Amino acid sequence: MIGRLEGRILSVDPGRVIVDVGGVGYLVTTTLRAVHQLAGAERAALWVHTQVKDDSIELYGFLQVAELDAFKRLIAVAGVGPRIALAVLSSLAPDELAAVVHRGDLARLTMTPGVGRKTAQRILLELKGRLEPTGTGPGDLRGDAASALVNLGYKESQAMQVVEAVLADNPTDDVGEVLRLALQRLTR
């Protein structure tokens, strides 16, 4: 499974980007938000969800781990596939989506192209309590460190608790140091 790609951007089109990694061009489907940010850039680093089908392997890429996490939660909802999940994340950042779910804002979700009333209701019902607003944004130390731990296989609640404990004992702005100390606590 491919979890992350970093390389030179060969082309950027609406909804997809081709990233050259070691001479291999990977076609990665992504959000319109990511396409906008990558337009004109020379390099990209994308967190990737790999979907293996009978006849193909599809890559879905995101600039932030939080977007990847939100994507995985969305495609776990009955009736929500990658196309709808990408549409939702194209119109709502992960924190905005969490706030919409927390508020039960059906009207805001149905403003997303391809998301009807029933699909929006399912998203709100199935993600309620699973996608809480965190107040974290890109570059947020707590969110970045917790997301890294989740990607290593730890539960989200456990990751947030240990990151908070580390930061309470050792205030720092270095995510690497926070991860090192958090992993020490988790492996004891």
- pLDDT tens readout for residues 11-42: 999 999 999 999 999 999 999 989 999 988 99
Determine what percent of the chain is predicted with pLDDT higher than 90: 55
Interatomic CA distance for residues 97 and 167, integer angstroms:
26
Residue 154 — φ and ψ, nearest 5°? -85, 155
Checking if the pLDDT of 133 tops 70, the result is no
Checking if the pLDDT of 135 tops 70, the result is no
Checking if the pLDDT of 136 tops 70, the result is no
Checking if the pLDDT of 132 tops 70, the result is no
| pLDDT level of residue 137 (50, 70, 90 thresholds) | very low
Structure tokens at 51: 């979907």
Checking if the pLDDT of 138 tops 70, the result is no
User: How many domains are contained in the chain?
Assistant: 3
Residues 56 and 77 in one domain: no
| pLDDT level of residue 148 (50, 70, 90 thresholds) | confident
pLDDT in tens, 66-92: 999 999 999 999 999 999 999 999 999
> Which tops the pLDDT comparison, 141 or 152?
152
Interatomic CA distance for residues 14 and 173, integer angstroms:
35
Give a yes or no: residue 69 inside a domain: yes
Residues 56 and 69 in one domain: no
Query: 14 with 32: CB under 8 angstroms?
Result: yes
Residues 47 and 82 in one domain: no
| Range(s) of the domain holding residue 151 | 141-186
